[in-house]
Every structure is written in structure tokens, then in C-alpha cells.
Amino acid sequence: MNIAVLGAMWGDEGKGHITHYLSTKFGWVVRFNGGANAGHTIYRDGKKFVHNLLPSVDFRNPNVKAFLGAGMVIDPEQLLKEVIEAEREYPGVSKRIYVDPDAFVVMPEHKEIDKKTNVHIGSTHRGIGPAYADKIGRRGIRIQDIIKGKHVAGELHVDSLFHMGVNFKHTMELDKEFKNSQILFEGAQGILLDINHGIYPYVSCSDCTVGGIHASGFNVEVSRVYGVAKAYTTKVGEGPFPTELHGKAADNLRELGGEYGATTGRPRRVGWLDLPALRYACRKGGITNLIVTKFDILSGMEEVPVCTEYEKAPMCSADFFDVKPTYTNIPGWTDCNDIPQVAPMLSAIEQGSGVEVTYISCGTDAKDIHMV
């Protein structure tokens, strides 16, 4: 069975943590979109790791391989850094890392252009927009161009990756391997940042929905599409955020949740769970099941406010501008590991989103993830 783990909202929902946990049961973990704008945080043996480009694979599973797909834009220097770090922890692991030569390259100038032109979006300035603009404008440079000897920045890094044992292979070359294995597709960012269905123009530039998997050349069935959401909401960057908190209330939640960007260190905007937005994201993103994280952060609250409706249910991304959220207070919990205590929150989420909650997470350790 192939599955996907996608960000249901604005990213940073804990996809890395969930993917790392689930990856022990899979043969392949595939990143199919985005670039080093992503910051996937993983905790292993009490240590914290952040992957920007590498899938959130638990390489302790000796059978798992990582694949960076054609839908990505890859900064070779950053990838080399991450592979060197992975090698330090797991010598020889490079041979289990694969890159699709059809993926496009983020060049140093893309990052420079990003800094000058995308400040109003709140971009991470990792060169993502300009790299995708070159791709769509049919003047982009792919990894295969570097392999074939096109002399551009990044050439030395790709060469080093090759000599370390990283594989550069197209999906068609691996067709049999993919068919005989189980694949976990790890999305980057979240549905509300999707280039087609996110809250335009406050979006990233890649396909964050289930459609991104097929767009990156994987013609396989995906049986389950997990959307990851937090028990509250966060966002980095500009644009509408209907349930945003301000002032002291925001500071408190931000501190409790440790809500600072994994890639940029920016303080994240924080607010309550937004069910109309989650319902929209589940429909647009192809989400079949939900995984809700960070329940522990809200432990001890007598009641948890949740936005259950807007004046008008959003039908398209333009409907997120100037909405008026209505809140319902859900009975709180003191210990989220005690599932009956969180049952009212789970039913509110299922009713509001129209999708079943399958797992919740109450902390950064694998043992904190519970099937519900």
C-alpha cells in the first residue's frame, strides 16, 4: 500500500515527525515538491534534526530508500550538506539516496532574486519562486543538465554527491522497484500554500496536494492520503489567517508550542484551529485521513476555542480574505495520551473537516503518536 503525508494547512504541522515514524514500514520515502523552503523537524534518540531537502526518512530501517522527485527544485549545495550530515550518522547511507535528474536546480541567483522580489509574500528566500518561474518559463536548468556537463554553479556539489554514492535515476528506471515496494510520499509546505489551490498570491510555487505526486511522475495508486494538522494553527509569511491571535494570547501560544520557523527561525503567526479552512484543504488536497499533532501544547486548558464556521463557507481561495470566524469552545483535556479526554476535540475536528482522524500526536517522540 502506498500512502501520502501532506501538510493540511500552512505547513509546519509536524509532517517530518509523522513521516519519520511511519517510514519504518516503507521501502521508499519520496519528496515530490518544493525545495529547501521546507523545514522538516525530526527527533531521534533525543537529538533534533532538520531536513530541508532530504525526505524525513528513519534510516535506522535498513530497507528504506529516499527519493527526491522531479517536482522538486533542488539547491545542490544544500543537498550536499544534508547528505554529509546523514553520512556522519549512518556511514554508507548515500547509496540509499536517489535524485530524479528531471528535478530543477536552484541557482545562487534565484536566492538573490527571491530576496529582492518576494518580501511582500514573506518568502523563505530559498530561491523557490524564481527557480519555478524559470522552469515554467522553459529556461530552467535541471539536474540532468549538470550531469551532462552544462557548466553552472552547483556542478561541483552534484559531482561530490555522485562520488559519495548518491544515485541519479529517473522514475522509469526504478519502475519495477517502485511497483514491488511500498512508497510513502512526503509532501512539503501545505495545501493552503499550494500554487493552484492555496490562498493566492500568498502561496509557495509547487503542487502541495495529492496531485503533486502524479505530477512528479509516479503513476501509482495512493491508498491513503494523510493530512497533518495541528490542534491549533500556525502560519509563517503574509496573507489571510482568519483565526489569528494577537498580543499576549499569541505570545503565550507561540512560546508554549515553540513556534519558530525551522528554516528561517522566524516567529510563526499563531491562532486557533480553523475547521472551515481544514475542510477546504481536505477537499482540495485529496486528504482521506487526518493526523492531528501538538495536542500536548493545549493540555490543561479548560476549554479550547475552535473556529467552526465563517459567515460563508469558502468555495475558493479568494473566499479566505476578510472572513468572520465563529468559535465554539470544546471541553479541554489534562492528558492527551488519555484518548477519551480528547474525544470531544476529535469529534469536533471530524465533523468540521468531514474527514476521519486516524492518529494524534502528543509530543516529539515516536511513543507520543497514538492511533485513535
Residue 189 binding partner per list Mg ion, ligand IMP, none, with a CB distance cut-off of 5 to 8 Å that depends on partner kind: ligand IMP
Residue range at the interface with ligand IMP (CB under 6 A); choices 36-44, 153-161, 307-315, 347-355:
36-44
- Closest approach, Cβ 294 to Mg ion, in A, equals 13
Which of residues 128, 245, 306, 348 is near ligand IMP by CB under 6 A? 128
319-338 binders of Mg ion (CB under 5 A): none
**Contact with ligand IMP (CB under 6 A): which of 124, 171, 317, 353?**
124
Burial class of residue 92 in the structure, from the number of CB atoms within 10 Å of its CB (0-12 exposed, 13-18 middle, 19+ buried): exposed
Residue of 16, 71, 129, 227 that binds ligand IMP (CB under 6 A): 129
From the list 5, 6, 9, 12, which residue makes contact with Mg ion (rule: CB under 5 A)? 12
Binding partner of 80, given Mg ion, ligand IMP, none, CB within 5-8 angstroms per partner class? none
Closest CA relative to residue 201, chosen from 268, 138, 293, 122: 122
Annotation says 40 is catalytic: yes
Stretch that binds ligand IMP, among 9-17, 81-89, 143-151, 178-186 (CB under 6 A): 9-17
- Which residue of this chain has its Cβ atom nearest to ligand IMP in the complex? 237
CB of 160 to Mg ion, least distance (A): 26
Report if residue 317 touches ligand IMP, rule: CB under 6 A.
no
Does 13 contact Mg ion by CB under 5 A?
no
Check binding of 121 to ligand IMP (CB under 6 A): yes
Binders in 234-263 for Mg ion, by CB under 5 A: 262
Q: Which of ligand IMP, Mg ion, none does 10 bind, CB closer than 5 to 8 A by kind?
A: ligand IMP
Q: b/e per residue, 309-338, with b = 16+ CB within 10 A?
A: bbeeebeebebbeebebeeeebebbeebbe
According to the binding rule CB under 6 A, does residue 233 interact with ligand IMP?
Answer: no
57 binds, among Mg ion, ligand IMP, none (CB under 5 to 8 A by kind): none
Q: What residues pair up with 7 in beta bridges, in sequence order?
A: 228
Least Å from the CB of residue 117 to ligand IMP: 10
CB of 112 to ligand IMP, least distance (A): 14
User: Is 12 annotated in the active site?
Assistant: yes
Comparing CB distances to ligand IMP, the nearer of 54 and 128 is 128
Residues 6+ apart with CB under 8 A from 348: 275, 306, 308, 328, 330
- Out of 33, 118, 171, 209, name the contact with ligand IMP by CB under 6 A: 118
Whole-angstrom distance, CA of residue 94 vs CA of residue 83: 7
Rounded least distance, CB 123 to ligand IMP, Å = 3
Subset of 166-205 contacting ligand IMP (CB under 6 A): 188-189, 193, 202, 204
Judged by the rule CB under 6 A, the positions of this chain that interact with ligand IMP are 10-12, 37-39, 118, 121-124, 126, 128-129, 188-189, 193, 202, 204, 236-237
**Catalytic positions:** 12, 40
